[in-house]
Chains A and B, each alone.
Chain A
Amino acid sequence: MANLKELSKNPERLTGGHRLCAGCGAGIVARQALIAAGNVPVVVTSATGCLEVSTTIFPYTAWKNSFFHSAFENSAATCSGIETAYRSLKKQGKINEDIRFIAFGGDGGTYDIGLQSLSGAMERGHRMLYVCYNNEAYMNTGIQRSGATPKGAHTTTAPAGKVHQGKEQNKKDLTQIMIAHNIPYVAQAYVGNWNDFVTKVQKALAIDGPSFINILTPCRLGWNYKPEDTMSLARLAVDTCVWPSFEVENGIYKINVTPKEKKPVVEFLKPQGRFKHLFKPENAHILESIQKDVDEKWGLLQRRSAIGC
């Protein structure tokens, strides 16, 4: 468990003044991940996306550590290249200090266009942490459907209309795909629980190998809610078991946050404009199917956690 007093002594490496929206979860994710890293130098890579464009408007930068971006689909390959350069230069005695490597990507850059690059980097075993700040759609380009968009959500490329009611498919279970890579550490986290996330980042960075954290990151624009509700909305995702907080360390499952009382899914869906159409009487069956999916997956996760794998 992270200690707030100790964390407060760590340097702030994502400074204020960046252009992320009020209430944006991505800035919170990046800032907390870097605070979690402590005093060790970190090199950050990012996929093209909100986090990147809002923090690096030339000639300004919000990053106090080295930051590198090149394209959309390659944050993992990019981080792996820097990590390899580090190993090479260290081996030759040209660098002496320890440096850690964190790759950020949104869900578009991770679930979809960057999946191959991520899979390759994880399989190769680079010592790097990949953090997917998952806001469940292509928010930077204006809220288009991604593989992470949940069933029923309205997006601009899978909109709710007279015939279709938002996205008709389930979201891809990327966390399971990463678990299947048999890497030492995979976790799901969420904005709104700094201790859970910071602890996970610290665990991941301590591992001599690849690690992956999928953090649910509400987007006030894309999810269509009030900016001040970012934290509480992410917590509702956990309390409804839509997005369980769990980790898989060396193959062993552990649920990190168990809701005191499992709330119905509608409590998470209701405050969000993207699910508004689901509350029409004729769409009740969609709500039912979402609840059923959540229950099944939560049950499976509980069974896995109970037996450890």
Chain B
Amino acid sequence: MIKTVYSKGKLVAKTGNEVMAEAMRQIEPDVVAAYPITPATEIVQIFSQFVADGIVKSEYVAVESEHSAMSATIAASAAGARAMTGTSSQGLCLMWEMLYIASGLRLPIVMAEVNRAISAPINIHGDQSDTMGARDSGWIQIYSENSQEAYDNMIQATRIAEKAKLPTMVTTDGFIISHCMEVVELYPDVDVKAFVGEYKPERYLLDTKKPYTLGSIDLQDYYFEHRYQLAQAMRDSKDIILKVAKDFEKTFGRRYDLYEKYMLDDAEIAIVVIGSTAGTAKVVVQELREKGIKAGLVKMRVFRPFPADQLAKDLAHVKAVAVMDRADSCSGAYAPLYSDVVSSLFAAGAVTPKVVNYVYGLGGREINTAHISDVYKTLGKIASGAEESSTQVEYINVRKK
């Protein structure tokens, strides 16, 4: 149960989509360009009502596709506007080309992204395949465990994006968060606006006194430097994210980090997971702790930039780790989160943890405490040496035949 932590906060019952729209209302961007897609539709639907009612000064562009949604958002941002959009799944896939352009042009767009499975087969339910597919696109990715985090992350994302000059997506798990009503603490408009601040771009297309060309062709003599700068900006953005989080905590009272450590410091077995499943896993960790089992958890919040060094340090002492991916990669090897966790450990020379990859919950398939208990059971056996750690991707709750 969420309690108010901010003196002027107000508890309301809202869905994930509703609070993302609330955050957008409070941030009040100059332009929102979007296209409907389940389960993200509500966010921009609610926002367009704010526009229709004159509650926000924003202009809303009801474009004819997600490709145009991202194109128009990119253009509005380049023009000098604070610009936002929202999408999910196939919509994000259709934006794919433009995602790379948004980051390559260093435009601080914020996107509300509701994680949903991608076709085929078509499925509207929650998994993280969509944003995992965009993991190398140069977007900061911030995942949310619940509606409160989604709201808080949206507010922080605006500042992060504008400081880092990197587009930023804030995600929620489709239906599990987007459509689930929870108690959320909202902060007063004026305080959110003060935290976010006014957007003042350095260069913008509508600056007629300093017209400029953006989107040039970059050949062998400059392209590499620009891509290097982008990669470096992503590395540098970790500090920006932490600084904004610190400021957020100071202002509103909620603490955020690149990832959350839950009973990890003395843990012998641990799960690394992203999104709403972390909430389920925490229940299991508590149960195991009551039994005296040293179970812990890492909930990734920021997947891009990937906090490799710090995470390797924090996991180095854990005997057995399960990395749970709500996305598969079809790489023939391992799923995205696992690959990054293991690379981080290996690069840091951490040899203690045995790390197993689990793929779960695709297309909204149930993941419950029993499934997670089983994972910890296996980790216990690996940690004690009773079982070898699997080098294969293990699938949870799937019929293989």
- A contacts, CB < 8 Å to B: 41, 43, 45, 52-53, 56-59, 61, 63-71, 73-74, 77-82, 84-89, 91-92, 95, 97, 99, 116-117, 119-121, 123-124
Contact = CB atoms under 8 A, between A and B. Distances in A.
Nearest to A53: B217
A80 B310 CA distance: 43
Contacts of A64: 211
Nearest to B67: A74
Nearest to A45: B75
A247 to B, nearest CB: 26
Nearest to A61: B213
Contacts of B68: 74, 77, 80, 116-117, 120-121
Contacts, number: 162
B394 interface: no
A263 B346 CA distance: 76
Contacts of B213: 56, 61, 63, 66-68
Interface stretch (B79-87, B149-157, B336-344, B382-390): B79-87
Contact of B75 (A65, A70, A73, A99): A70
Given A43-B205, A85-B76, A91-B57, A73 B67 contact: yes
A58 B214 CA distance: 10
B76 A70 contact: no
Given A85-B31, A88-B81, A66 B205 contact: yes
Interface residues of B, number: 43
Most chain A C-beta atoms within 10 Å of own C-beta, residue among B68, B98, B212, B219 = B68
A92 B58 CA distance: 9
B21 interface: no
Contacts of B72: 77-78, 80-81, 84
Interface of B: 30-31, 33, 57-59, 61-65, 67-68, 71-81, 83, 97-98, 101, 105, 205-208, 211-219, 222
B217 A52 contact: yes
Contact of A81 (B33, B216, B218): B33
Nearest to A119: B64
B219 A124 contact: no
A89 B216 CA distance: 25
Most chain A C-beta atoms within 10 Å of own C-beta, residue among B58, B63, B75 = B75
B48 to A, nearest CB: 13
A61 B58 contact: no
Contact of A88 (B58, B64, B217): B58
Contacts of A116: 64-65, 68
Contact of A85 (B30, B211, B217, B222): B30
Contact of B31 (A57, A73, A88): A88
Given A67-B214, A88-B81, A81 B61 contact: yes
B347 to A, nearest CB: 34
A88 B75 CA distance: 13
Nearest to B221: A58
A85 B83 contact: yes
